[in-house]
Structure 1
Amino acid sequence: MPQKKISFLFLLLNIISVHFAFSQKISDVDKIVAKYPKSFNSTEKLAEKIEKDFDSDSERARAIYSWIAFNIKYDYNAYLNPQRSQGFSYSSEAEKQRKLKQINDNLIQKTFNSKKAVCEGFTALYQDLAQQVGLKCEIVRGDSKVSVRDIGRKTTSSNHAWNIVLIDKKWRLIDVTWGQGYYDSSKGRMVNDFNPVYFDTDPDYFFAKHFPDSGTFSGNRLSKSDFLNGPLIYNTTIEKDYKIKSPDSGIIEARNGDRITVEIKNVSKSNQVFYLNKRNQPVKVQNPKEKRGGLEFQILIDNNIGDYVTIFIDTNSIVSFKIVSK
């Protein structure tokens, strides 16, 4: 099967298994915010409501995440047809900063009023509301890993944006764009499907799918090679804390007849574990062994394996690897 078709297949499988079988964890904060009006007269009114209803920084940060994810839709048409960057002239640094602030303020109001945006609008609105309720918040720009075709890319690109917010003296990672829903390729449209896993995400999981332009987080340098060459993980992997212990690379070099050992934490024999062959048929793993709080099993590399292999646990896609012939 051609690579493009395989890539599309697994991207579609990701959509089906992650978003329709995903067990959503709705917090008490989310339940309260779900009853908020879909529209407020101003961002100030929304911020006042959040500040009144919640006392802690963590709750307020989560409330902002929830309201945006519940009410702002991803503008897929704008993503496909991006506007040209606004150019402007200035005679001093002060004038430059005023004009940049005006552009950002316009983006925030457009997102808030139209209820749709791409990641720049999501992150700008999140930062604005966070700052209004007294939180220190920044926007981070960088790369994202979203499909099997991203495994083994040669370089990163600046194609996404997310937030970091300071809670209890620690920077927390937040991607509200990914928290609001997903693109359903079978329907050709965005689907709202609240996803809490991208609020205060574990950095190990977050940076498997994100890489900042700065290459750093909280003063620590991140590995670009690990990001580019690591496996593709999915939302259920993060939610269930399915740590991928082996293989440690997303690129598997193998000959026909080789057996690849896979080890995943927090899985047991009671789970159904399988992968799809290149004819899209499920293949149940044979003789799995419980080991060190997880499950270890082998996958035979033969003519039935395609260019990529995706592991499923109980119908949910967990991790994808790229197969390269030795």
Structure 2
Amino acid sequence: KVRSLFRWLTVKNLNKMIFKEQLTEDSPYYFLKGIKYGLESYHELFKRLCSYAGLSVKIIRGISKSAGYKPGMPFKDSKFSNSWASVLIDGDWHFVDCHWGARHVNNTEDYSDPEKFCYSLDEFYFLTNPEDMIYMHYPDEPEWQLLEDPLSVETFVELPVVKSHFFWYGL
């Protein structure tokens, strides 16, 4: 179920999707339209869909080394605030980041323009290993690092800035 929902959300190129003007508020397409125009988030829609499927999901809030982040930058304001999901499967929590799994920002300083998003599925963000996720995402609550020995935010800042390809190539 989790895999199906992740794939359904992440393989859609919202730049190419045209939505009807009138969509009912209980339609998944209503929420996809909201994501396209910045009114909804991937993780909230993922949580909603998982709830309909009888799955437990927790939205994790924290900071991330997202577009515009440079190595060693402090996290002073909300610019790098982020959210992602953790889903309960067979008694264990696993990370799922549908947003990062669906799209990334092209090299630009204007992150508000939806046309700057490049849609391409990145499987790395499905059931991501906590040991890898911590390089990019730092939760507000240390227990949601899902690590045996949680890191301090200072250690998180000192970690290199890497993305999924670093791990895909075993670097």
TM-score by length of 1: 0.41
Deviation, structure 1 residue 127: 0.3
Distance 1:148 1:113, change over 3 A: closer
**How many residue pairs were aligned?**
152
**Hey, what's the Cα distance between the residues in 2 that align with 1:163 and 1:64?**
13
1:185 pairs, out of 89, 102, 107, with: 107
- Identical residues among aligned pairs (%): 23
Distance 1:148 1:161, change over 3 A: closer
Q: Specify the alignment match of 1:232 in structure 2.
A: 161
Distance 1:131 1:69, change over 3 A: same
Give, as a single letter, the amino acid of the residue that structure 1 aligns with 2:57. C
Q: Specify the alignment match of 1:216 in structure 2.
A: 143
Say if 2:132 is the partner of 1:205.
yes
Say if 2:81 is the partner of 1:140.
no
Larger gyration radius, structure 1 or structure 2: 1
Give, as a single letter, the amino acid of the residue that structure 2 aligns with 1:137. V
Q: Specify the alignment match of 2:20 in structure 1.
A: none
Q: Specify the alignment match of 2:11 in structure 1.
A: 70
Of structures 1 and 2, the one with the larger relative CO (CA 8 A, separation 6+) is 2
Q: Specify the alignment match of 1:162 in structure 2.
A: 84
Structure 2 unpaired stretches of 5+? 16-24, 109-114
Say if 2:82 is the partner of 1:153.
no
**Hey, what's the Cα distance between the residues in 2 that align with 1:209 and 1:178?**
11
**Hey, what's the Cα distance between the residues in 1 that align with 2:77 and 2:39?**
15
**Hey, what's the Cα distance between the residues in 2 that align with 1:114 and 1:61?**
22
1:125 pairs, out of 45, 53, 62, with: 45
The one-character-per-residue Cα deviations of 1:37-85 (angstroms, maximum 9, x if unpaired) are: xxxxxxxxxxxxxxxxxxxxxxx111111111112638xxxxxxxxxxx
Deviation, structure 1 residue 229: 1.4
Say if 2:99 is the partner of 1:172.
no
Structure 1 unpaired stretches of 5+? 1-59, 75-104, 243-326
